[in-house]
Amino acid sequence: MMILTKKMIEIRSILQRVGQSSTLTLPSIVVIGSQSSGKSSVLEAIVGHEFLPKGSNMVTRRPIELTLVNTPSSKEEYGEFPDLGLRRISDFTSIQRTLTELNMAVSDAECVSDDPIHLTVYSPNVPDLSLIDLPGYIQVVGANQPLQLKQKITELCDKYIQAPNVILAISAADVDLANSTALRASRRVDPRGERTIGVITKMDLVDPIRGASILNDQQYPLRLGYVGVVSRAPQSQGLFKMGPTNLLSAIAKQENAFFSSHPLEYGNDAGVNVGTTTLRKKLMHVLEQTMSSSLQSTSDAIRQELEEANYEFKVQYNDRPLSAESYLAESLDGFKHSFKQFAEEFGRPQMHELLKNELDQKVLDLLAARYWNKPIGDLTVAKPGLDSLADLPKAEPDSLYWHRQLDASTSALTKLGVGRLATTAVASSIQGHIDSLITNSTFSTHPFARQAIMEAASTILNERFYSTSDQVENCIKPYKFEIDIDDGEWTRGREHVGGVLKKELQDCESALKHLENTVGGRRKLREVMTFVDKARKGDIIVEGDPGSGAGGFSAALLGRGREAVFLRDRADIIKMRLLAVKSKQCANPKNKYYCPEVFLDAAATKLASTAVLFLNVELLSEFYYNFPRELDLRLGRHLSEEEIEKFAKEDSKIRRHLEVIRRKELLELVLGKMESLRQLEGLERDRQAAD
């Protein structure tokens, strides 16, 4: 009834996926032995391949949980490392290399690790078995090995040789059994020798009479007995080229030749077990027995764990179903929905406002540079008369000077690169909005999704950037030659710029207030400002390095003083200009040279409106159309199952939720399989009884 072992091994593999928290175990065969006892040779003889790490250095540093799956209907042989996602490796040298690397990754300081490597081998030539290879016991610690190594290996092996596992204790025939570390370890946990199989290797190295007496050992009697083997691969035939069946048959041939040449000691009538084939059969039989007798207790344990998982699911997650796919799909839907809302709220008026604000700043800069350029007093260069009146337009409509000033300002405004400025402003505003949409969505806890979404946005925006910016620049081109402002535009500009100037005034005033606070009060600031003013007018001659202090003020304080004087002067000018803008003269567009603020504001509005028309077509509509599609591409169906799983698990709450569901599902699956196994076993028993 080998089907039982196969099924149980399958169940064992499923249980391994249940996760770390699970304490469920199904019996396995644990292989222990001293270094060089021939442990690897025995395992490789069972598998029919050379695949274990070799070398003089201690190479097995992690347990290798080896699952052998017999595949009678397939010729293919291959190994898999499920934890690493490495599938179908048919080159066993490559398996050997991977195992060596995994082992060598354990640092010398750590010596050994109890984190097992899972390896499954599928082959028509292997029996269904579950084996665990452990680091070999060492007698003496090597010069460059840590002192606690011996102890650590013993502890690791002790952990694995507990019931219900079967112990495969390997000892070499040429070493006295009384000195076998493997048998001594087995004794400690299985004193009556009920679940230990003794394997005596290197039978060829001892005299047959002595060999037979070892196999009949009475000093360490084992219920499951001893098997003698000669499992070293025959060297002469060129081991590396040898195929699996070759290795198997070569070993069998070699063993046959050896044992049959001593029929008296090892023949059928001698009452001893010899040969790797015998050992394989024994292992299968013993594992099946052990698995079978643990059916009941394992079922019970699984049922209990399932109950716990069910309870957790109910209490913590309200029995709410969830899958990584559904979570992603819902999150994406939610996000798209909020994007749609944003798209409805962010259109031409919003873009216009955004652009106008940008241009308002540029207009203020231009005004400051061309009209409000009262020199800021500098202590070193201050000369009487230099702080002339602010360069403000007088009510002289025909003054060529003021004509030139306004023409130059208008030209600077239209030529400042409106296309680029507008496109950048809108693109970065969209990006900022997308970023806050993410922050307010379930994606906020998912760095992977956040990145994917931001990349989706910037890909579209970048693609459109240059053409949009060129288009906008092109369409405002006429304004570079002439700007006509009608009465309505003038009135609106006058009203708007009044607000801008007021805001600028407030900013100046609050900056002044802030300076007051930083220097320690209004009086102190006044004192410095007075000093700065005087120095500027030339009332005080300040000599020496302007970086150092003067007049009893530190350099830093003087710096603040100069800043404050600048702000005060600016505020004064803005106040005057506010009055001018409000004056009757500025109500009439004819007086545009007297009211550059109004004219430039109206011009900026024209630029913004024209730019917005094109931005809407070239950038915004394109973005609104493409963005949801780009999202689908990056976060939609084309993601692999692993990627979706990884995404969902970025959120620790979702991860726990998914894990509980997965655990529940796996346990239910296992329990179902266990139940049918037990029925099968019952039928088999009935059948045997009827026979």
Determine the interface stretch with ligand GDP among 8-16, 28-36, 112-120, 465-473 (rule: CB under 6 A): 28-36
Beta-strand relationship, 78-81 and 86-89: antiparallel
Toward ligand GDP, which CB reaches closer, 36 or 429?
36
| Shortest distance, position 42 Cβ to ligand GDP, whole Å | 7
39 binds ligand GDP (CB under 6 A): yes
| Shortest distance, position 198 Cβ to ligand GDP, whole Å | 15
| Shortest distance, position 131 Cβ to ligand GDP, whole Å | 13
| CB distance 581 to 501 below 8 Å | yes
33 binds ligand GDP (CB under 6 A): yes
| Shortest distance, position 33 Cβ to ligand GDP, whole Å | 5
36 binds ligand GDP (CB under 6 A): yes
Binds ligand GDP by CB under 6 A, chosen from 5, 16, 28, 40: 40
Token pair belonging to 68: 């052998």
Report CA dihedral (442, 443, 444, 450) to the nearest 10 degrees.
Answer: -170
Q: What's the rounded Cα separation, in Å, for the pair 126 and 137?
A: 27
Binds ligand GDP by CB under 6 A, chosen from 25, 35, 213, 491: 35
Toward ligand GDP, which CB reaches closer, 41 or 471?
41
Residue 55 region, left (φ>0) first, then alpha (ψ -120 to 50), else beta?
left
Neighbours of 105 (CB within 10 A): 11
Residue type, 310: N
| Shortest distance, position 168 Cβ to ligand GDP, whole Å | 12
Q: What's the rounded Cα separation, in Å, for the pair 598 and 586?
A: 8
The 102-141 contact track toward ligand GDP, x by CB under 6 A, reads ----------------------------------x-----
Q: Which helix (H) or strand (E) holds 16?
A: helix 3-18
| Beta bridge pairs of residue 41 | none
Maximal CA-CA distance, the chain: 134
Toward ligand GDP, which CB reaches closer, 134 or 456?
134
Sheet architecture: strand order including 64-70: 86-89, 78-81, 117-123, 64-70, 129-133, 29-33, 166-172, 196-201, 226-228, 273-274
| Shortest distance, position 247 Cβ to ligand GDP, whole Å | 13
| Shortest distance, position 52 Cβ to ligand GDP, whole Å | 7
Binds ligand GDP by CB under 6 A, chosen from 5, 16, 28, 41: 41
Toward ligand GDP, which CB reaches closer, 39 or 374?
39
Determine the interface stretch with ligand GDP among 17-25, 29-37, 242-250, 621-629 (rule: CB under 6 A): 29-37
| Shortest distance, position 676 Cβ to ligand GDP, whole Å | 39
96 binds ligand GDP (CB under 6 A): no
231 binds ligand GDP (CB under 6 A): yes
Distance in angstroms between the alpha carbons of the first and the last residue of the chain: 16
Token pair belonging to 338: 């909020």
569 binds ligand GDP (CB under 6 A): no
Q: Of the candidates 615, 608, 594, 365, which has an alpha carbon nearest to the alpha carbon of residue 479?
A: 608
Q: What share of the chain is helix, strand, coil (3-state, %, to 5)?
A: 65, 10, 30
The 165-204 contact track toward ligand GDP, x by CB under 6 A, reads ------------------------------------xx-x
Q: Coil, strand or helix: which one is 682?
A: helix
Residue type, 373: N
Residues that bind ligand GDP (CB under 6 A): 33, 35-41, 136, 201-202, 204-205, 230-232
